[in-house]
């Protein structure tokens, strides 16, 4: 019986090791097919713990179900395939995971922070409508304050797609996410209405009931209240929104 028990323990240990190697290989394959040359570059791109991700890809630490779901969403593969539970590699368009968007931060005019993203523990996911730009990066932002309250009340969740992944210039009336970065590295994210005026001048229009937020911003012109501003740019389109009372049920 002793030898049988030792054999079974050896077999199970070997089987688990093979499964771990298989998961690690699939994770590496998914990362490479998503266009990330190294494990470090993928971890940096998605804000993951670099050491933990490298352990997972090397097979030196087992991948939990929650971690697998996170990696599968990022690399757009099936969670079951990543866990070596099925042979369906690429996620289907009808899978709800395709419509899970992570709310990563907030837009708040006049609020300057060191980073434009919340801590990982404060971020959450919402289920949204299909994107009009399936290949573009997608993220959610919460509206804080009243700089755009004629359109988006305080607490509204915005569904956004990265402008850098879309071969399309903003047009008048588009609702856009604007990032301002000061020379000291502080960030501000706001939502505005885009307008291109005469002589090629470009404006970002607030739609606010509050007088203090009603001054248009010209792209390329520093805000006079923040003389150290050195960058103002549109970074995303708003493609959907969810009102505060609805948004709290979507976490």
**Hey, what domains does the chain have and what are their CATH numbers?**
2-82 (1.10.260.40), 100-247 (2.10.109.10)
**Is residue 146 very low, low, confident or very high in pLDDT (cuts 50, 70, 90)?**
very high
Evaluated on CA atoms 45, 189, 201, 170, the torsion sign reads: positive
- Average pLDDT of the segment spanning 44-59: 89
Q: Is the pLDDT of residue 11 over 70?
A: no
The 10s digit of each residue's pLDDT in 70-102 is 888 888 887 777 877 655 555 544 444 557 888
Task: Say how far residue 101 (Cα) sits from the centre of its chain.
Answer: 7
Query: Mean pLDDT lowest for which of 1-15, 101-115, 176-190?
Result: 1-15
The 10s digit of each residue's pLDDT in 161-204 is 988 888 788 999 999 999 888 888 888 999 999 998 877 789 99
Q: Which of 98, 137, 144 is nearest to 122 (CA)?
A: 144
Q: What is the pLDDT of residue 220?
A: 61
- Residue where the block lists tokens 């885009």: 194
Please report the DSSP string for 221-244 in residue order: S--TT-TTEEEEEEEEEEEEEE-H
């Amino acid at each position: 019986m002793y030898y049988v028990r030792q054999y079974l323990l050896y077999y199970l240990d070997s089987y688990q090791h093979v499964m771990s190697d298989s998961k690690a290989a699939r994770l590496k394959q998914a990362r490479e097919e998503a266009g990330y040359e190294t494990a470090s570059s993928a971890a940096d791109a998605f804000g993951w713990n670099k050491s933990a991700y490298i352990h997972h890809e090397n097979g030196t630490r087992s991948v939990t179900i929650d971690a697998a779901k996170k990696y599968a969403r990022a690399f757009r593969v099936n969670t079951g395939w990543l866990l070596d539970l099925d042979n369906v590699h690429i996620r289907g368009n009808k899978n709800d995971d395709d419509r899970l968007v992570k709310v990563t931060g907030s837009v708040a005019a006049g609020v300057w922070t060191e980073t434009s993203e919340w801590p990982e523990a404060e971020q959450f996911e919402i289920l949204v409508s299909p994107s009009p730009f399936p290949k573009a990066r997608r993220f959610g932002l919460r509206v804080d304050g009243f700089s755009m309250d004629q359109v988006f009340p305080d607490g509204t969740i915005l569904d956004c797609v990265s402008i850098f992944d879309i071969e399309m210039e903003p047009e008048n009336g588009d609702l856009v996410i604007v990032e301002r970065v000061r020379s000291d590295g502080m960030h501000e994210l706001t939502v505005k209405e885009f307008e291109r005026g005469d002589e090629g001048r470009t404006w970002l229009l607030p739609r606010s009931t509050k007088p203090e937020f009603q001054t248009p911003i010209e792209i390329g012109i520093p805000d006079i209240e923040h003389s150290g501003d050195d960058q103002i740019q549109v970074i995303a389109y708003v493609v959907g929104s969810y009102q505060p009372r609805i948004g709290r049920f979507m976490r």
